[in-house]
Structure 1
């Protein structure tokens, strides 16, 4: 089961990356848990609804995300991800390009996994 959960989380991470770049609201809705709390690179707590609204409104526009150094660990029904992301984006009218370290907690719910907690930290060279 651990290997199956890890593979599901890896697959979901790729789906999330793609959905963020394309602002695919339907996929984001499926991958983000209703109780999501995301602490963004500015230290702000963002809910699922707020995150999706940023994509819908165009206040968040992501051109590219390149993931590296992904580590995934399974703990019961949870998958923990640590990954670096080199992102080219515009956030609330300002360039937000750079490398960010992400931590995400994925929870297995039935046959799918959803992000319930996430945090982004700028990586300073």
Structure 2
């Protein structure tokens, strides 16, 4: 496995988040996703995508500050520190750190788990 493939998937995810492209998000996120947001809430794939689909979440900027990738058998773990701007009911801006677990299964890479922390 090559780290550049995971970087490309992360960039595809970033672009889909910025444009609220639910088709691409649906492709990249596993059906059994477990995601913990920066409030400690556990979200499903449907909850995550619905925020984009409904227009409730609009991300206007994702600037990558640092990214680290750990390759394992059929898994990749990414830790990405970003500056994030957008609206979710009200405008927000801040620095966040995302950890994502990508798994290769059924012939494709998908996010099976993720966590977001606010950086203070």
Asked if TM exceeds 0.5, the reply is yes
- Which residue is equivalent to 1:122? 118
- Which residue is equivalent to 2:26? 29
**1:13-92 alignment to 2 at 5 Å?**
13-91=10-88
Contact 1:100/1:122 (8 A) holds in 2: yes
Contact 1:101/1:121 (8 A) holds in 2: yes
- Which residue is equivalent to 2:97? 101
1:84 and 1:73, CA in 2 relative to 1: closer, same or farther beyond 3 A?
A: same
Instruction: Give the drift of 1:37.
Output: 1.0
1:74-124 deviations in Å (ceiling 9; x for gaps): 111000001101110112x12221000110000012442110000000000
**How many residues matched?**
120
- Output the CA distance in 1 between the equivalents of 2:51 and 2:14: 16
1:7-58 deviations in Å (ceiling 9; x for gaps): 2211100000000000001100000000111111111111101111100101
Report runs of 4+ in structure 1 exceeding 2 Å deviation.
none
Under a length normalisation based on structure 1, what TM-score does the superposition of the two structures give?
0.91
Unaligned runs of 5+ in 2: none
Under a length normalisation based on structure 2, what TM-score does the superposition of the two structures give?
0.95
